[in-house]
Amino acid sequence: MSTINTELQNKLKKTAAVKAADYVKDDMIVGLGSGSTVTMLVDELGRQVQEEGLKFTGVSTSISTAKQAKSLGIKIVDLDSIDTIDLTIDGADQVDSDFNGIKGGGGNLLWEKIVAANSKKLVWIVDKSKVVDRIGAFPLAVDVEPFGSHHVLKKFSDAGFNPVVRTDKDGKVFKTDSNNIILDLHLHEINNPDKLADTLINTVGVVEHGLFLNAVNEVVVGKEGAPQILINSKVHPSYQ
């Protein structure tokens, strides 16, 4: 994973976000992801709603994204009020050449995966530092039911997953929008993501994990010059 300074990274994030906004057309139902790059996307979509008359309906993967979108005049509806989502645009913490990704750095992986699984098309927006040869260097978030979570933590420790209970800026246990906790697994490298995904989701107490395997249709990568669009011609979502 390449390292870039914050100023350049933010510039590349915005480049990807603005490009991805072109995917949104009138009358679409659009899933809006979470994270810093999506914040830039929502800002751009809000501008288009206010200045260019863009009309679409959003479904949010987090309370914070919904609040931002509504403040910019974007209509937000509940997922259960619609049949399907035309397009979801979200960020990613890492993505490899097989279109396997890690998400959940912001703690919204459960809602992100639910929205993605109910979308006709999934697009990720990232800066170039997020594109890697093999995922795993970024901590893998696992959404866990608080009841009995100590036992899940112990199982993951015994398995060599190096789990850490996520805390917020005040040092308190981080809670998701569903009031669950996050265990961050420090794995360094994931050689068999399908096997790991199966192990995690079959651990009693685990609600969801941040592995998104071959689920994304396109990745818009912010790079110097113009964004690069990576197209997954063999997309076959695996949401185990």
**Residues labelled as active-site residues:** 112
Cα angle 64-67-70, degrees, rounded to a multiple of 5 = 150
Residue 91, annotated as binding a ligand: yes
Residue 11, annotated as binding a ligand: no
Residue 96, annotated as binding a ligand: no
**Cα–Cα distance between 54 and 63 in angstroms, integer?**
23
Interior/surface letters 164-173, b for 16+ CB within 10 angstroms, e for the rest: eebeeeeeee
How far lies 75's CA from each of 36, 90, 106, 165, in Å?
20, 18, 23, 35
Residue 130, annotated as binding a ligand: yes
Interior/surface letters 105-131, b for 16+ CB within 10 angstroms, e for the rest: bbbbbbbbbbbbeebebbbbbbbbbbb
Residue 64, annotated as binding a ligand: no
Residue 105, annotated as binding a ligand: yes
Residue 35, annotated as binding a ligand: yes
Residue 106, annotated as binding a ligand: yes
Long-range contacts of 70-74 (CB under 8 A, 24+ apart): 71/46, 72/42, 72/43, 72/45, 72/46, 72/47, 73/46, 73/49, 74/32, 74/42, 74/45, 74/46, 74/49
Residue 155, annotated as binding a ligand: no
CA 179 and chain centroid, separation: 18
C-beta separation of 122 from 86 below 8 A: no
Residue 34, annotated as binding a ligand: yes
Residue 103, annotated as binding a ligand: yes
Residue 92, annotated as binding a ligand: yes
**Cα–Cα distance between 188 and 140 in angstroms, integer?**
9
Residue 36, annotated as binding a ligand: yes
Residues making up the binding site for substrate: 34-37, 90-93, 103-106, 130
Binding positions are 34-37, 90-93, 103-106, 130
